[in-house]
Structure 1
């Protein structure tokens, strides 16, 4: 499909090595007296308190504001390069929906009702849905990636891990920052942030605004797109934040925050990897070009309101409350077949609301510390999609010549959830060197769901006006499922730590997490809900610093993933069937290692590296044949979106002059091959590497900064998503070039791709 040769990857690696060598030579030339610098102290909030990274017995990667800025990282998905065994990618069909996997655990399908396997948090507020979760970074302090189940402190749906987006608290000073960026594909970005004290040392208001725009990497090349924007993979987004902080006394803190994002980028069109059976259009020349029979517009609207109150009762005890309300609305056009005919078109709407409340009590005593809390979540996730199948096109191709109306399968419904939880986690010193961590969380979930499943001999869109002049008809919806289910779960954590010295700690832990049970949002009958997924994880790790300039953190892990939820077709049917069932079908396991290294060679030169290796497999997948007899088909399943090997090599060189400070950095990021689908995947991305380089200048007065950022210098093409609605030809299944058309009667094998080579220039001013 998309083969990247070893030669190109080796070339990229050689360039990276040459870059590192050049930086080292420059350092030797520039520095007459070499002074050894010390490692930067990194503070994280992985255990809901501020702690030194090296004291936290959790596999966590933290990327601070300076590193994000100097590497030109503008969206959350780029963070995957710096965290081992992590996949963060923009999902198929849209720029704003995230596909997140950590250690082979995640959720690929973004349909309402499904629960994520990796939790996304914005300032301690859980974001339940993947729509809009590809966050553009604005006024960020750091991004933290917590790997492994976080079921004790963060609750359900963090069985793979958690991503934390932490914004900056205000200083109380008047500040103003403006940043403009121009770049490849007519990139035009503007970000403005700042703060103003309303009452000195007590009341402050902060603000942020961004407008992010870019032309498409490719085009919709269908000829009959009248009055439609033809750009594919473009960007048109605005975001705003307003924050009010109040500190009436030294031990009281209040924050009220509002944020809104409008993403009007076009729907993403996929690249046809096979010629169409029903049209004469060839496979496009560029992987960023596409055909479509649908409108190209798309929309993602996000809005959130949050309130935080913190009371430092004493030097050892604090109470914190975090409450939030978030909602999102996303009408979208997904052309599954990517042709100029309505062979398999899916206009859809996602509509979500959520309210969360969390009350924390943290206490630190002589030789122990405790984090505890109560949590409540109430959410409503609704949607509708119309699967439009132009059956007449297939008959015409076969020469039948009988005009028939289109066929539309409409599925709509809601999945309403409430969740209550209580948790406590404590660490106690057993001796001068030994300590133990014990944690537990009890969660009570309730889910109510209904599904309407209707078949119509017409072309139906979710709303009137979806295309010019379209009026949605009235018809009786067919409710096939209306049910509710309760689940409860106790998730423990047990760990032991050995502090060999101030700079060396070993830890071992066991943790359990669960992903909530759910009803099938595509149900055709009143089928029962799928039970929660369970992950049991064991870790053995080391946190170390050597000679004040080398940090080496290593984690070995093993996990068992049971009761995996999976959508499969009904017994005896194939990929041409829309009816699907959801069930707990099997289990998988994974073993791996994660290594993170930081080496500060001199005041000027530093290196960083990370490596992730994972061996993951399905051990059992139970299905039933047409006679109702169970059989194991685990040999047809592969863990998706999970390369066996990932690594990143980076170098940073700092040059201090009378005319300002320079920061040069480069990194080479490698991902091994991976499949896009669990069952009988026909889409495999071969291994590839991304080579990036940045140069930054800071004025001597600290007000001005300029950055040049080059991404994917070797212009690699790599798939990050796709659709497969074909099956191998039964007459010769070993020949991967022969397929039997699937749903819609066409060869629908589609790929979506990551960004090509881009170069940008950023100029910023602050006071």
Structure 2
């Protein structure tokens, strides 16, 4: 079935190629000035000659021999996609999942960041750049888009043109630059759920050499889940952001741009709802339903779409993000020397309910973090008639400090212990783990890429990168009983069945200080051939890597409870990437059709695993044997005239563990007596059964990846004169579909999220200076889940994050 679908798509591409008009016009030359000042994408990606800077120079998207999606500001704003989390609704090969800002995962084609609780000890595989500045942690890029010009999503490894090496791709966000002509814009939006959003930007000259630009954005919205415990809604939005830039044209050849930004988010977030239960191999009287009944607990609703919860721990998702950068551009003959110096910070203050229930099992869970990062990039771009090249150097340093506190509550003994100890709340009540940890990370790189135009049709493009990384960390967990007395679990080990043994089984003290450094050499090679004026074919091979990592949240332990020191570091990923594609335009460039096929093999894939216990270890990094992702993508855009534009984008992605023989087991194979060797194991979900120590999940799908994904949209308009203003009435629709996907690192029968399709509508009136429209998103009020979380302790509880219901409102924009 899959093979037939791929062949059908290829046949469709061929059909379009055979009908290309012979009279297609030559492309208009791209102005060779500052890339930020050339025309950018209009309302829909792919309509017209869209200018991108993916290869560090201004050129049309259709001339770039790689798979790239370009989203213009108008498309982003009109579809309500105002941050990174929403972009996947417009780009089928992008996957974004978030249980809170820190635990946000951005993948392209199924790879990027391992699914699970975030660890600072690994690198993200999808790089996020804002005006050439790399954001080291996804959580530090969860701000609202502020005065954005366009977003480019590059698919496949990026390392020979970008400061930080990334294996999955890159998201390149470009802000509007200061202008020497006065201009401004403002926007206000109101909607249901008390949604209010305001945006404004103003730009203009201070002198004939200095221009400034300033933007502000604020978003607030009532939460989508009602917590009966606190009698208020949760998972709200409360965002505020500022961005300012000063452009100084020192000479005709030298310009300096100083930019600063600050964003803060302070919502009561991020809570979950009850979704379902599933039998594990824990004793039946120690699974969710029996434990809840023993404590006379009845969850407020077993239907997640009632949007009700009764979680009892405090919630907070305080997030402060900001920084300063200085960008210098110096035109030297046929080339340009660019320097980008940047400092960024991230301050995270969370509070969570880690047991997902209204019982005081985990009474406190918070791990505030503070990050500082410094980066320096030098890049020289040369453009000639036959040769283009980029050479660069990149230096990066970051430090992250985290102070964690997790405490057990009055219901913890009943939930986690057996026998007489389970009946004594004082055994675990008040048991507290305090974690202190820090990470220091340094990365240095030299990179370059050559584009050699052998003749008018054929171009070859080799690139290389030399990379050095060093990481060192520290982790210490100290444990205190309910009386505030520090406990020890080693030398000697506690006697089985005692209070101390029970406490050490939940929180065990640990200290580790992993450190590692590594060199990597990587390269890529691209060949592209222009079959006709508007037909480009290309093939790429990339040898890439994800740098070495460390376990920053504690280490797994041996049978005696001692940390396994060898698990402190994880090997770098070894990536082999192959891609072929074709880019076409026809009907006098009114239509665009692009197809790409890819295969990426990753050896020593860095996976996030969890041992299922409540507080012994929340999660750690380990190398899976091998992972493979392969698929085909197609993008079609059609703009026959100024009155209509439409697009359809689709992707098939087959992302699987090729070999992962010692993976953590899913809940239906966990919770019983753990055994090794050749003992006969019970079937999944049999209470009181024997459970394997680990599981072979080779051949199973990677989490968070839908095999099929689509996005589509269209907009039509008619010219009118309304209230003495010439303009146009317009109506638009956009939507997206994702097939089912797993929401657990080891696929579980309880963690699959069924596929869903969302549809949005908008209609309004616009002129050159004003745009007034109404909108409705998730118009058919589709019920869907964004993410599932399996509760700790193998009790069989599955909690989840429910997608937004139908929302509607109106927007007014002004340009002046």
In the alignment, does 2:439 pair up with 1:439? no
Q: Deviations over 1:97-147 (max 9, x none)?
A: 532111110223323323212111111111111224223121100011111
Mapped pair 1:566 → 2:607: yes
Go from structure 1 to structure 2 and tell me whether the alpha carbon gap of 1:482 and 1:626 turns closer, same or farther (over 3 Å shift): farther
CA distance in 1: counterparts of 2:799 and 2:392, whole angstroms: 46
Question: Residue 552 in 1 paired to residue 593 in 2?
Answer: yes
Aligned equivalents of 1:662, 1:85: Cα separation in 2: 32
- How far 1:575 sits from its partner (Å)? 7.2
Q: Secondary structure at the match of 1:634?
A: coil
Change in CA separation of 1:623 and 1:250 when aligned onto 2, cut-off 3 Å: same
Number of the residue aligned with 1:112: 120
Question: 1:419, CA displacement in angstroms?
Answer: 0.5
1:210-609 → structure 2 map (5 Å cutoff):
210-222=217-229, 225=230, 230-274=232-276, 277-278=291-292, 279-283=297-301, 285-287=303-305, 288-314=307-333, 316-344=334-362, 345-390=364-409, 391-394=412-415, 401-404=423-426, 405-458=429-482, 480-524=511-555, 525=563, 526=565, 527-548=567-588, 549-568=590-609, 577-578=616-617, 581-609=620-648
Contact 1:396 1:402 in 2 (8 A): no
From the superposition, tell whether residues 319 and 626 of structure 1 become closer, same or farther in structure 2 (CA, over 3 Å). Answer: farther
CA separation of 1:72 and 1:280: change in aligned 2, threshold 3 A: closer
Cα distance change of structure 1 residues 658 and 481 upon mapping to structure 2, 3 Å threshold: same
| Residue of structure 1 aligned with 2:697, choices 604, 624, 634 | 634
* Secondary structure in 2 matching 1:299: strand
Per-residue deviation at 1:331? Answer: 1.1
Q: Which residue of 2 aligns with 1:208?
A: 215
Cα distance in 1 for residues equivalent to 2:416 and 2:751: 29
1:14 corresponds to: none
Q: Is 1:146 the counterpart of 2:164 in the alignment?
A: no
1:411 positional shift: 3.2
Distance 2:399 2:597 in 1: 38
After TM superposition, give the deviation of residue 481 of structure 1 in Å: 1.1
- Structure-1 residue corresponding to 2:801: 752
Question: Quick one: distance in 1 between partners of 2:480 and 2:677?
Answer: 31
Q: In 2, Cα distance between the equivalents of 1:430 and 1:98? A: 44
Offset of residue 663 of structure 1? 3.0
What is the distance in 2 between the residues matched to 1:258 and 1:376? 20
Partner of 1:130: 138
Q: 1:654 to 1:621 in 2, by over 3 A?
A: same
Judge conservation of contact 2:119–2:551 (CA < 8 Å) in 1. no
Q: Are 1:165 and 2:165 counterparts?
A: no
The CA distance in 2 between the partners of 1:765 and 1:70, in whole Å, is 14
Residue 611 of structure 1: aligned partner = 650
Q: How far 1:658 sits from its partner (Å)?
A: 2.3
2:395–2:444 Cα contact (<8 Å) kept: yes
What are the Cα deviations for residues 73-95 of structure 1, in whole angstroms up to 9, with x where unaligned?
32222221222321123x11x25
Structure 1 pair 247–311 and aligned structure 2 pair: CA distance change class (3 A): same
Q: Is the 8 A contact 1:576 1:725 kept in 2?
A: no
* Alpha carbons of structure 1 residues 286 and 493: separation in structure 2 relative to 1, 3 Å: same
Instruction: Verify: 1:655 aligned to 2:718, yes or no.
Output: yes
CA distance in 1, matches of 2:140, 2:414: 35
SS in 2 for 1:77: helix
User: Are 2:274 and 2:304, in contact at CA under 8 Å, matched by a contact in 1?
Assistant: no
How far does residue 356 in structure 1 lie from its aligned partner after superposition?
A: 0.5
TM-score (norm 2): 0.80
CA distance in 1 between counterparts of 2:256 and 2:764 reads 36
The answer to whether the Cα contact below 8 Å between 1:511 and 1:538 also exists between their aligned partners in 2 is yes
Cα deviation code 1:678-720 (max 9, x no counterpart): 2133311111101011223213xx2221122211111122222
Quote the Cα distance in structure 1 between the aligned partners of 2:164 and 2:677. 33
Structure 1 position 723 matched with structure 2 position 789 = yes
Alpha-carbon deviation of 1:478?
Answer: 5.7
Any stretches of 5+ residues in structure 1 without a counterpart? Answer: 1-37, 461-476, 727-740
1:704 aligns with 2:710: no
Indicate how the Cα distance of structure 1 residues 631 and 132 shifts in structure 2: closer, same or farther if over 3 A, else same. closer
What per-residue deviation string (whole Å, max 9, x for no partner) do you get for residues 242-298 of structure 1? 111111322221110110011011121101124753332333555433222222333
Match of 1:53 in 2: 61
Provide TM-score, normalisation by structure 1. 0.85
Report the secondary structure of 1:667's partner residue: strand
- Partner residue of 2:760? 692
Q: CA RMSD in A?
A: 2.6
- Deviation track 1:157-180 (CA, whole Å, cap 9, x = no partner) reads 521111111101122122232211
Q: Shift of residue 380 of structure 1? A: 0.8
Q: Tell whether the 8 Å contact from 1:179 to 1:192 is kept in structure 2 after alignment.
A: yes
Specify the SS of the correspondent of 1:66: helix
For residue 13 of structure 1, what is the aligned residue in structure 2?
A: none
Which stretch has the larger CA shift, 56-65 or 424-433? Answer: 424-433
* Contact 1:95–1:265 (Cα < 8 Å) also in 2: no
1:579, distance to aligned residue in structure 2 (A): 7.0
Deviates more, 1:617-626 or 1:125-134: 617-626
Contact 1:193 1:209 in 2 (8 A): yes
Q: Secondary structure at the match of 2:791?
A: strand
Task: State whether residues 533 and 565 of structure 1, in contact with CA within 8 Å, keep that contact through their aligned partners in structure 2.
Answer: yes
Is the CA contact (8 Å cut-off) linking 2:400 and 2:440 kept in structure 1?
Answer: yes
- Which of 108, 118, 126 lines up with 1:102 in the alignment? 108
Q: 1:286 to 1:583 in 2, by over 3 A?
A: closer
Q: What CA distance in whole angstroms lies between the structure 1 residues aligned with 2:124 and 2:218?
A: 29
The Cα of 1:626 is off from its aligned counterpart by: 6.5
Check conservation: 2:119, 2:553, Cα contact below 8 A.
Answer: no
In structure 2, relative to structure 1, the CA distance for the partners of 1:74 and 1:631 (3 Å cut) is closer
Shift of 1:535: 2.1
Post-superposition CA distance 1:543-575 (Å, at most 9, x none):
1101221111110101101111234457xx867
TM superposition shift of 1:516: 2.1
Helix, strand or coil for the counterpart of 2:301? coil
Any conservation in 2 of the 1:493–1:510 contact (CA below 8 Å)? Answer: yes
Structure 2: give runs of 5+ residues left out of the alignment.
1-45, 278-287, 485-507, 556-562, 664-673, 679-692
CA distance in structure 2 between the aligned counterparts of 1:494 and 1:125, rounded to whole angstroms: 25
Match of 2:660 among 617, 621, 628: 621
Aligned to 1:736: none
Note if contact 1:220-1:290 (Cα within 8 Å) is conserved in structure 2: yes
Question: Kindly tell me: are residues 129 and 635 of structure 1, through their superposed partners in 2, closer, same or farther at Cα, counting changes over 3 Å?
Answer: same
Aligned to 1:471: none
The answer to whether the Cα contact below 8 Å between 1:336 and 1:748 also exists between their aligned partners in 2 is: no
Any conservation in 2 of the 1:406–1:458 contact (CA below 8 Å)?
A: yes
Q: State how far apart, in whole Å, the 2-side matches of 1:261 and 1:426 are.
A: 38
